[in-house]
Amino acid sequence: MSLLALNPIAFNVGALEIHWYGIIIAMGALVGVIMAMSEAKKRGIDPDNILDLVLWGVPIALVGARLYYVIFELPFYLANPSEIIKIWHGGIAIYGGLIAAFIVLIVLCKRRKLSIWLMLDIAAPSVLLGQIVGRWGNFMNQEAFGAKTSLSFLQSLHLPHFVIEQMYINGAYRQPTFLYESFFNLIGLVIILVLRHRKQLFKQGEVFLSYLIWYPAVRFFVEGMRTDSLYIMPGIRVSQVLSIVLFVTAIGVWIYRRRNTFKLPWYVEAK
């Protein structure tokens, strides 16, 4: 670790350490919730449904994200069971959180007779925003990095000095894969936000499917650069396999719905 590396602990409350990781994720979640509530109101959905989704979804998603990671690192956690709850040491998987949150959303929509596709459309950009911001929590923890690289390469990217110094890990400069993922997902978010309110462009469900195409595509390539991936077996990364499945499934569902369902409502109707 570089002597100039940022301290992952923001401040202390007595003996309790408050980590930047948690603060950054909370900030991303807060902005995402505000954005989703605003969009829900425009789409005729009571914003309180978003709050209820967050109140149930966030803690369950955190559990899902942790369980997903633990399952694929089971030998270590069986030998060190006390580490299972220590998420501040790193080790939560975005895909696990997404799966858990998806289940919560379906249950909530079924109980309140809300359109699942419309709720997914409203939530998807906020989730992507949370992922963009959340990667900076990984940055503060010096995790989710790539292979060794050179100082000159990092400088050629015109990165701020503090980013370059934070990428000096275990005696070598590292590829800032957290930054690649955050940056390219930001591009995707901007595209989705610009296009989603175009009249009669997206059918309900296609904003979500756009997210489900963009994010896995970015994750597949960035995951191939990381050095801390979870593996199904040697040479086969869990997140890359799941990215391919989600990418292909999303395109297939999009095409199927357009060809076989003629009365799909538009996300934004023409007036």
Expressed as residue numbers, the domain containing 128 is 9-260
* Number of domains within the chain: 1
- Assess if residue 190 is contained within a domain: yes
Cα dihedral across residues 104, 59, 45, 251: positive or negative: negative
| pTM tops 0.85, yes or no | yes
- Assess if residue 89 is contained within a domain: yes
- Assess if residue 270 is contained within a domain: no
pLDDT in tens, 3-19: 567 888 888 888 888 88
Are 211 and 128 in contact by the 8 Å Cβ rule? The answer is yes
- Assess if residue 112 is contained within a domain: yes
Q: pLDDT tens, position by position, for the chain (271 residues)?
A: 555 678 888 888 888 888 898 899 889 999 999 999 999 999 999 999 999 999 999 899 989 999 999 998 888 888 888 888 877 676 778 889 999 999 999 999 999 999 999 999 999 999 999 999 999 999 999 988 999 999 999 999 999 999 999 999 999 999 999 999 999 999 999 999 999 999 999 999 999 999 999 999 999 999 999 998 889 888 899 999 999 999 999 999 999 999 987 789 999 986 5
- Assess if residue 131 is contained within a domain: yes
Contacts of 247 by beta carbon, 8 Å cutoff, 6+ apart: 212, 213, 216, 217, 220
Tell me how far apart the alpha carbons of residues 173 and 157 are, in angstroms, rounded to a whole number: 13
**Three-class SS state of 16:** strand
- Assess if residue 271 is contained within a domain: no
- Assess if residue 268 is contained within a domain: no
Q: How far is CA 21 from CA 45, 139, 219, in A?
A: 32, 8, 20
